[in-house]
Structure 1
Amino acid sequence: MLRIAIAAAVLTCAAPALAQNMTAAQREACKGDYDKYCKGTMPGGGRIIGCLEKQRASLAEACRKVLDAQKK
């Protein structure tokens, strides 16, 4: 039960940290890539988006589309 509570708290905190200007669907598209490549990145100042951009070639297609849309 404690593990579930901790996991829920981490996911709740990670979603806003991923990118505060993204919709829930956009965050979901990049969550796996965030967890895989950028989990230790300190939020703020565009660092998470920058981290994802550095890993662009390895990202899921859905996440790349989200990043492209963010640039517009």
Structure 2
Amino acid sequence: MSKLSFVAIALVVAFSGGASAQSSDPRGACKADYDKFCAGIAPGGGRVVACLNGKRDQLSDTCKAALDSRKK
């Protein structure tokens, strides 16, 4: 395998892993929702998650799925 092929495969794997991590990681998946609805809430003690859950009907589907994955 050539070095170029190896680098191309490594980049594809790196970027595809990041996308799936973001969808299951509330910090990445909910950033826009946090900025919009909970920007004044200081992180820690579950305050941000509580704020986001309080606005659940207004959150993006990606953020809802990430929050749901934390419950499992």
User: In which range does the TM-score fall when normalised by the shorter chain?
Assistant: 0.5 to 0.7
| Partner residue in 2 for 1:16 | none
Deviations 1:1-35 (A, max 9, x none): xxxxxxxxxxxxxxxxxxxxxxx612221000000
Deviations 1:15-56 (A, max 9, x none): xxxxxxxxx612221000000000000111100000000000
| Partner residue in 1 for 2:55 | 55
The runs of at least 4 consecutive aligned structure 1 residues that moved more than 2 Å come to none
Higher-Rg member (1/2): 2
> Are 2:26 and 1:29 aligned?
no
Number of equivalences: 49
CA–CA distance in 2 between the matches of 1:67 and 1:29?
9
| Residue aligned with 1:33, SS | helix
Aligned AA (2:35): D
CA–CA distance in 2 between the matches of 1:32 and 1:58?
12
CA–CA distance in 2 between the matches of 1:64 and 1:30?
8
CA–CA distance in 2 between the matches of 1:69 and 1:37?
20
| TM-score under structure 2 length normalisation | 0.64
| Unpaired runs of at least 5, structure 2 | 1-20
Aligned-pair distance for 1:57?
Answer: 0.3
